[in-house]
Amino acid sequence: MTTPTDAQRMEKIVSLCKRRGFIFQSSEIYGGLNGLWDYGPLGVELKRNLKNYWWRVMVHERDDVVGMDGSILMNRAVWKASGHEDTFSDPMVDCRVCKARLRADQMIEKKGVRQCPNCGSKDLTESRPFNLMFKTYVGATEDESSITYLRPETAQSIFVQFKNVLEVSRKKLPFGIAQIGKAFRNEINPRNFTFRSREFEQMELEYFCRAEEGMRLLEYWKEQRLKFYENIGIPRDTLHVKTVSDEERAFYSTGTYDIEYDFPFGRQELEGVAYRTDYDLSQHQKASGKSLEYFDEETKQRFIPHVVEPSAGVDRTVLALICEAYSEDEAPDEKGKMETRLVLRFHPRIAPIKCAVFPLLKNKEQLVAKAKEIVDLLRPHMNVFYDESGAIGRRYRRQDEIGTPFGATVDFETLGEKDASLRDTVTLRDRDSMKQERIAIQDLAAILRARIA
Ligand code: GAP
C-alpha cells in the first residue's frame, strides 16, 4: 500500500466527511458560501462529545470554575472598550489583475517583490487593515446608533459579566468562568476545510487570579490543556507548544503559548493560552464606569484581577480529531482475501457512535429480537446503532469507517443453540484490534461504559 501524500490524505478526509455525514458545505444546493460549514448526523455527535468532555473537565470536575452562556450580540460599547472595533483587523491586499482579496502575509515574495499567489501579478494595492467583525443593526433603524457586531470571541461576555458571576457564585480568587459558544470572523481567506471558518465555536476559560500568580498559572493551564488533548486521543508528539514572541503577542499580554497540531496541511494553531493581565477588566471598568474590582476579605484590599485564558476552537479540534483518527490498514474480506480497510480510530470517549449492534442474520426472528433488546438495554447509557443489512463483514467495515469502537453481534450461540453456557452472551468486536471476546449481555452496559468513560 502506498502512503498518500498529505494533500491526498486531506482530500480523502474531506471526501469521507461528506460521504459519511460528518461535515457538509453550508447552503450546498445553492453553491455554498465560502468559509461556512454544516455538521451532519455524525459530525454533530463528535462535536457534542468534544464539548461535553471539555465542560466535564473544565467545569464539573473542578471546584474553582463555573460556567455561563452569553449572548452573541452585545452592546457596541463592549467592542469599543475591548479594542476590537479599532484594531481587530488583518492587513489585506487586492490583486488588480485577478481581483483576489488576500491577507498580506499570504503574498509570495520573489527577489524582494510581492506577487499575487493566485495569478503571479505584481500589480497589487498597498496593504490596508480590514476589520474582521461582521457588522449588523439592532432594531428597525439601520443607522450609526443601531450598529453592533456578531461577537468575534466569546471571552468578552465573560469579562462584562465578571461582577455578576462573582457575586452569585461567591468564588474566591483564583477562579474561572467557562463558556462554549459561537464566534464569527469575516476571514479574508477562509481555507483548509473547517480550519479557518467565518463562523465557528470556541471553548474559552477566563481564569481570574492575583497578579503575582499569573505566570505560574499560565504554565499550569498550558500543561492542563496538553493533557486534555492527550485524553481525547491526540498524542503528545503531534502537539507543539509555540511561545508567542514579543512582537506577535498582544501588547497587554505578558506571556502567550499557542498549542499547535500537525495537520496534513501543516503545523497550525489549535488553541491559545494567554496571560492577558488585567487589561480586559480594566478597559471595561474604565469604559462602563462600573467597578469590576475584587474585594479580598482577608487583606481588605480592592483590585482588578488578572486573567489567564485557555481559548480553544471546537471546529479545529474536531478537524484534528478526524485527521488524527483517519487511517488505512488491511483486513480480510468475506473470502479471506486482504483488502484495504478505512478506519477512523477515534478515542472511544469522543466517538460519535459507541457501539453497533448486529443480528448475525436479518431473517432469523430470534436473532433480530435479541439484538433489538440489546439496543434498548444500551440506549440509556450511550449512542448505539442497529444494523441488520448486508454481510457481517460489510457491516463491520461501515462502522470502522465512522469510528465506532465496539460492535456487538448476536449469533446462534447467543440463543444457546449449540452450548447452553453461551446463552445470552454476544461477541464484542474491538474496532482497532478486530479481536472478538464473548461477553454476557447483562455485563455489556457496564463493560462498555467503563471503556468509553
Ligand atoms: N479570546 C481569545 C481568542 O479568541 P484566538 O487565538 O483569536 O483567541 C482562539 O482564537 C481559538 O479560536 C483559536 O486557537 C482557534 O482554535 C479558534 N479560531 C479562531 N479563529 C478561527 C477561525 N477563523 N476558524 C476556526 N477556528 C478559529
Site to probe by mutation for ligand 1, drawn from 269, 308, 309, 319 as the one with most ligand atoms within 8 Å of Cβ, is 269
The protein residue with its alpha carbon nearest to ligand 1, atom 9, reads 311
The protein residue with its alpha carbon nearest to ligand 1, atom 18, reads 313
Q: Which three cell numbers stand for residue 381?
A: 447509557
Question: Which run of H or of E encompasses 180?
Answer: strand 175-184
Ligand 1 — pocket residues by CB below 6 A?
153, 155, 185, 187, 196-197, 200, 202, 204, 269-272, 309, 311-313, 315-316
* Number of the ligand 1 atom closest to the C-alpha atom of 187: 23
Report DSSP state, residue 14: H
Q: Which three cell numbers stand for residue 50?
A: 468534544
pLDDT on residue 5: 60
C-alpha torsion 20→26→29→34, nearest 10? -120
Strand-pair partners of 67 = 178
- Sort strands 65-67 and 175-184 into parallel, antiparallel or unpaired: parallel
Alpha helices in 235-350 (DSSP H): 279-288, 314-325
Q: How far is the CA of 253 from the centre of ligand 1 (A)?
A: 16
Q: How far is the CA of 312 from the centre of ligand 1 (A)?
A: 7
Q: How far is the CA of 356 from the centre of ligand 1 (A)?
A: 35
pLDDT on residue 2: 45
CA distance 293 to 302: 6
Q: How many CB atoms lie within 10 A of CB 135?
A: 12
Strands (E), 112-265: 113-115, 128-131, 135-137, 147-149, 175-184, 199-209, 239-243, 255-263
Let me know the angle formed at the C-alpha of 229 by 60 and 64, rounded to the nearest 5 degrees.
Answer: 25
Place of cell 457534542: 48
pLDDT on residue 14: 97
CA–CA distance from 312 to each of 15, 129, 183 (Å)?
25, 25, 12
The protein residue with its alpha carbon nearest to ligand 1, atom 12, reads 313
* Number of the ligand 1 atom closest to the C-alpha atom of 313: 16
Q: How far is the CA of 202 from the centre of ligand 1 (A)?
A: 7
The protein residue with its alpha carbon nearest to ligand 1, atom 17, reads 313
How many residues in the chain?
453
Amino acid type, 35: G
Cβ neighbourhood burial of 356 (10 Å; 0-12, 13-18, 19+): buried
pLDDT on residue 1: 44
* Number of the ligand 1 atom closest to the C-alpha atom of 154: 1
pLDDT on residue 248: 93
Contact, 106 vs 94, CB < 8 A? no
CA distance 151 to 166: 23
The protein residue with its alpha carbon nearest to ligand 1, atom 20, reads 196
Site to probe by mutation for ligand 1, drawn from 316, 319, 321 as the one with most ligand atoms within 8 Å of Cβ, is 316
Tens-digit pLDDT string for the chain (453 aa): 444 569 999 999 999 999 999 999 999 999 999 999 999 999 999 999 999 999 999 999 999 999 999 999 999 999 999 999 999 999 999 999 999 888 898 889 888 899 999 999 999 999 999 999 999 999 999 999 999 999 999 999 999 999 999 999 999 999 999 999 999 999 998 999 999 999 999 999 999 999 999 999 999 999 999 999 999 999 999 999 999 999 999 999 999 999 999 999 999 999 999 999 999 999 999 999 999 999 999 999 999 999 999 999 999 999 999 999 999 999 888 788 899 999 999 999 999 999 999 999 999 999 999 999 999 999 999 999 999 999 999 999 999 999 999 999 999 999 998 899 999 999 999 999 999 999 999 999 999 999 999
